[in-house]
Amino acid sequence: MTSRADTPDRIIAAARELMTEKGLLEVSLAEISQRAGTNIALVSYYFGNREGLMLALAEADGARATAHLARLLAAELSPSEKIEAHIRGLIDAYFERPYLHRLLQKLLREGSSEVSARIGAALVEPTAQARRTTIDQGMASGEFREVDASLLSFAIDGACSHIFSSEAGRRAVLGKGDIDRELKDRYVQTVSQLVIEGLLAR
């Protein structure tokens, strides 16, 4: 028997499952409530509204990514190895949660000022700072050439996320819309090589 305290987690899990299965952000609260075995009134009770639920989902998923970054910064790896591991972690996160990048962008662009600020402070800024720190270390050691680490952060984001943005786009370029593990791993290798080769000092 599940307790009332489990209800918010069940609602978040239901939203996550449905958005992954459908490949859409626009899953109704009625569908989410039905999958969670609860009712819409409890969604409102725990999260306030749909935006509150989407924020809770983004923060729950994003917390895994920021924890990975913290461990990576503390690891005894070269800057190149850290960048490669970060790219793999980011692409793995989008593979497991294919809605995540679109959800974050939607909350940043269309969310209330409070919600967009929370996403920026909790997820965007720590990620960008971790990348800057790693790239700065690489430049200081002579491993990396001089680059604008902040602008490169946008390039890494775009490279890691774009393949997940459109099934139709994947079908047009790759001949298939699905992303399996083999394709995901090849994409990790391609993006890692592109970024790291561009960073290395000659």
Per-residue tokens: 186:
């090849």
Per-residue tokens: 132:
């800057």
pLDDT score for 1: 43
Assess contact for 61 and 137: CB atoms under 8 A: no
| Phi, psi torsion values for 200, nearest 5 degrees | -60, 135
Residues of the chain where predicted confidence (pLDDT) is lower than 50:
1-2
Q: pTM of the full predicted structure?
A: 0.88
Pairwise CA distance, residues 168 & 41, whole Å: 36
Pairwise CA distance, residues 28 & 18, whole Å: 9
79-135 pLDDT, tens digit each: 999 999 999 999 999 999 989 989 999 999 999 999 999 999 988 999 999 999 999
Residues 6 or more apart whose CB falls under 8 angstroms from that of 145 comprise 139, 199, 200, 201, 202
| Chain centroid to CA 176 | 23
Pairwise CA distance, residues 142 & 192, whole Å: 19
pLDDT score for 92: 93
